[in-house]
A = this chain, B = another copy of it.
Amino acid sequence: MNAAPAAIEEGPLALICGGGSLPLAVADFVGARGRKVMLFPLHGAANPADFERRQCQWLYFGQGGKFARIARGAACRDAVFIGSLVRPAFWQIRPDFKVMMLMPRIAAAFRGGDDHLLSGIARLFEREGFRLLGAHEVAPEILVPSGVLGRVPASEGDRADIALGFDYLRATGGFDVGQAVVVAGKHVLAVEAAEGTDDMLVRVAQMRANGRVRSPAGIGVLVKAPKPGQDRRFDLPSIGPQTIEGAARAKLAGIAVVAGSTIIAKPEQLIAAADHANIFVIGASAETGQ
């Protein structure tokens, strides 16, 4: 283990924190390697209670100048954005002078899909001399490993649904849409777009309740994959304990994601919840779906 000398060369890491539990998990994994972490939680996204006892610098969306000044002053060269983010409402954005100057570029990035927006923001960081990394590059512990997590296995029918789900996601990968589907008995029940995975699972639960979906409880798989060509530095798909809750309410058999390309929040909690709900969780190869 020669993490400490590398960490000194690298300097502290600037961690811009969205919502959820992942930002502090990443901070702790990076800190455990001996690297200093500067926390920049985002107003409207990060939960204030989580940061009460941590040293941090709160930012509003748009405070790129403030971020650059503080991070550069602390000798940070690497920056990571991690955590959930709903597109901010207009009144939540407080562009400082630097960001004001860049507004035409940001607006142009906004007009495209999420991929355009995110890669546009990445370019802005790079213009300021920061290196934008993926959270999984500084904390690989947050990635889903290969194989079955927990104690519940997938049946042969489940494996066929998983393969069909990955096929569908591959076919639509070029369209910059949310990358998750629910497949049951070789039938695509729901496709995620702007609503997000959790809302899609609510929809499947509703369709089960109102009789629109007739496949029996315990049939059906949530399949998630990163988009081909997606900027993996800040836009990997993720699952967490709430994904298990959503899958359980939708009466699914399990969840399949791409091993090494999916972020897992609160892995112990997630696996315990999956075992308790009798739901399988698989880190599959995107190519073979197995």
As a 0/1 sequence over residues 238 to 260 of chain A, the CB contacts with chain B under 8 angstroms (1 = contact) are 00000000000000000000000
Are A213's CB and B187's CB within 8 A? no
A222 to B9, CA, bound (A): 54
Are A177's CB and B191's CB within 8 A? yes
Are B193's CB and A188's CB within 8 A? yes
Known: A195-B203, A203-B195, A203-B203. A188 touches B211 (CB 8 A): no
Q: Quick check: is A189 within 8 A (CB to CB) of the other chain?
A: yes
Closest to A184 in B: B194
- Knowing that A168-B172, A187-B194 touch, tell me 5 more A-B residue pairs with CB under 8 angstroms: A112-B186, A164-B175, A191-B192, A194-B212, A195-B212
- Could you pull out 6 A-B pairs where Cβ atoms are within 8 angstroms? A171-B172, A188-B194, A190-B193, A191-B192, A195-B203, A195-B207
Are A187's CB and B113's CB within 8 A? yes
Are A207's CB and B194's CB within 8 A? yes
Please indicate which of the listed interface residues A174, A177, A181, A193 has the most CB atoms of chain B within 10 Å of its own CB: A193
Interface residues of A in 122-178 (CB under 8 A from B): 164, 167-168, 171-172, 174-177
Closest to A111 in B: B185
A86 to B211, CA, bound (A): 9
Across-interface contacts of A113 in B (CB, < 8 A): 186-188
Copies of this chain per assembly:
2
Closest to A174 in B: B171
Total A residues in contact with B, Cβ cutoff 8 Å: 36
Are B212's CB and A188's CB within 8 A? no
Please give the distance in Å from A211's CB to the nearest CB on chain B. 6
A112 to B184, CA, bound (A): 10
Q: Quick check: is A87 within 8 A (CB to CB) of the other chain?
A: yes
A285 to B192, CA, bound (A): 27
Q: Quick check: is A1 within 8 A (CB to CB) of the other chain?
A: no
Closest to A168 in B: B175
A214 to B87, CA, bound (A): 8
Name the one of B89, B176, B190 contacting A194, with C-beta atoms under 8 angstroms.
B190
Across-interface contacts of A87 in B (CB, < 8 A): 211-212, 214
Are B176's CB and A187's CB within 8 A? yes
Known: A89-B211, A212-B86. A190 touches B186 (CB 8 A): no
A174 to B186, CA, bound (A): 13
